[in-house]
């Protein structure tokens, strides 16, 4: 990782820690600079605005989740149902212990309303990115489905997983198994 990327990563990591400890409303560029061990100007040069910081935090977390998805599909390259089940399970387990995600979810329940834009402003980008990654993996399977049928199936899987991240209704294991069953009904395999 080039030194500039390492500096940016350190600042974003500090922002995530600060957000989870004191709340998004109390994150300022000055406090972030102090926590990161750099000047306030360096934070602005590396990150830009607080909105850009929020985007960097969200995209960093999304990347962690998508790496888990990639790993599940790589492990189950010959069985789409098993790949979807493993990906869903791994994502749900990762979400259980994700401090930033917990902070964002608590915002939807009134704890820190300034975090709510992290979900709403970037929701389209997050969904599109997740669906693109899943679609790229699913296309490696010979499912015989036209794109106009495959896209809604992928959208359904992604949205159901996100729904269970936000408000679980069962165990990660059972939710993943249920998703795999639905995927088999729609996608085959």
Tens-of-pLDDT digits for all 189 residues of the chain?
556 689 999 999 999 999 888 888 889 999 999 999 999 999 999 999 988 898 888 888 889 999 999 999 999 999 999 999 999 999 999 998 888 877 766 654 445 556 655 556 666 777 888 899 999 999 888 888 888 888 898 998 888 888 888 888 889 999 999 999 998 888 875
pLDDT of residue 89: 96
Buried-state track 146-179, b at ≥16 Cβ within 10 A, e below 16: eeeebeebbeebbebbbebbeeeeeebeebbbbb
pLDDT of residue 2: 56
Task: Please count the other Cβ atoms lying within 10 Å of the Cβ belonging to residue 49.
Answer: 10
Both tokens assigned to 20: 């989870």
pLDDT of residue 109: 46
For the whole model, what pTM was predicted? 0.81
- By CB atoms closer than 10 A (0-12, 13-18, 19+), residue 72 is buried
- The CATH H-level (homologous superfamily) assignment of domain 1-48 is Homeodomain-like (1.10.10.60)
pLDDT of residue 32: 96
Closest-CA residue to 98 (of 20, 151, 3, 26):
20
- By CB atoms closer than 10 A (0-12, 13-18, 19+), residue 41 is exposed
Q: Please enumerate in sequence order all residues whose Cβ is within 8 A of that of 102, keeping only pairs 6 or more positions apart, or say none.
A: 20
- By CB atoms closer than 10 A (0-12, 13-18, 19+), residue 76 is middle
CB of 9 closer than 8 Å to CB of 1: yes
- Locate the domains of the chain by residue range: 1-48, 57-187
Distance CA 7, CA 5 (A): 5
CB of 68 closer than 8 Å to CB of 36: no
Full DSSP string of 55-103: HHHHHHHHHHHHHHHHHHHHHTTT-HHHHHHHHHHHHHHHHHT-HHHHH
Both tokens assigned to 175: 């939710």
């Amino acid at each position: 990782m080039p030194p500039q990327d390492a500096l940016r990563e350190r600042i974003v990591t500090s922002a995530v820690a600060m957000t989870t400890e004191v709340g998004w409303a109390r994150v300022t560029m000055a406090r972030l600079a102090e926590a990161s061990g750099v000047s306030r100007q360096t934070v602005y040069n590396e990150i830009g605005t607080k909105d850009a910081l929020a985007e960097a935090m969200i995209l960093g977390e999304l990347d962690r989740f998508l790496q888990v998805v990639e790993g599940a599909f790589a492990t189950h390259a010959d069985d789409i149902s098993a790949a979807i089940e493993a990906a869903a399970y791994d994502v749900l387990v990762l979400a259980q212990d994700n401090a930033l995600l917990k902070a964002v979810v608590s915002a939807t329940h009134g704890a820190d309303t300034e975090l709510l834009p992290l979900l709403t402003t970037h929701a389209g980008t997050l969904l599109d990115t997740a669906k693109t990654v899943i679609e790229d993996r699913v296309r490696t399977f010979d499912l015989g489905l036209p794109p106009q049928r495959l896209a809604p199936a992928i959208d359904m899987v992604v949205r159901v997983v996100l729904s269970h991240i936000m408000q679980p209704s069962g165990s990660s294991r059972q939710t993943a198994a249920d998703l795999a069953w639905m995927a088999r009904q729609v996608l085959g395999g």
